[in-house]
Amino acid sequence: MTEVLERNRRVIAVANVKGGVGKTSITANLAAELAAGGYKVLAVDLDPQGNLRNILGYRDSDIDDAGEGLLRSVTSGDELHPAKNVRERLDVVAGGIRSKDLQRELQRAAMDGGDVTTKLATSLAQISHRYDIVLLDTPPSPGMLQTSALVAARYVIIPVEADEDSLDGVETMAGEIRAVRSRNPLISPLGVVRFRMRQQATRAQAEIAEGITELLGEGVAFDTIVRDAHSVARIGKSQGKIARELGTNPPSAAGVAADYHHLSREVLTVIQANEEQLAQKEAQA
């Protein structure tokens, strides 16, 4: 398992046990921003709802297998074959209704006494070395797929909104991360994204930041805040476009696109700092 985890050193799970906090929007827009910046990116849709295909615009296309390839890879060991260049330098492993079947298969195998939570990590390790970043869009509730994502990931991005329920989700996610450390001792929070927050709501932003610090420690909340713009999400899903592709329709799209661009830079900065720190420790050992 050590070799698998090392191969998956840039796998990032986007996760929160609370639904509707922006996991899929963040996964799609962050993946596309990183790809536009010259990085080779893989986005993996683990959500049975398969909403990543709405934002990236491949629903009901030839590449939309509703999670069939993911199911075969995790259960049978077949190599994953991502759909190529959904955007330039951005590949995708589709999700959907077959991901629900995958969840059931994993639950059945676990009831028979097997530790199946490492199977996704093993599948990803076959191809993760081909990518600079791998992003996992996780289901909106605890279960075998979310646990498998955490076992496979080196980092976790946790989205939150400006309410107490979201902070409860962060606390629960912190517990989930601790729970998988026996199988994945390398996992750690990469950062918390404050999502869909009004730019003027500085008090709410500060309160959420304070709550994140209490739960996860200093410096875990990203500086970037993705602003509140429901019309951007709605129009983007209907057109199969991320924020940067919407131009000025709606007018708020440019601001949201800028937020995601800044978030992508911040994610890279934190990863590079962590890798440099690790290299220094290894050199001193």
* Residue pLDDT, tens place only, 96-136: 999 999 999 999 988 888 789 999 999 999 999 999 999 99
Domain 2-284 fold: Rossmann fold (3.40.50)
Task: Give CA–CA dist 234/213, Å, rounded.
Answer: 32
Strands of 133-137's sheet in order across? 83-87, 90-93, 41-45, 133-137, 11-14, 155-160, 188-197, 221-227
**Does residue 198 carry a pLDDT above 80?**
no
Read off the pLDDT band of 281 (50, 70, 90).
confident
The residue with greater pLDDT, 99 or 197, is 99
Nearest Cα neighbor of 100 from 44, 24, 23, 47 is 47
Kindly list the domain boundaries of the chain, sorted by start residue.
Answer: 2-284
Sorted by sequence, the CB contacts under 8 Å of residue 86 that are 6+ apart come out as 43, 56, 57, 58, 63, 92
Q: Which pLDDT value is given to residue 20?
A: 78
> What is the pTM (predicted TM-score) of this model?
0.93
- The residue assigned the tokens 């912190």 is 174
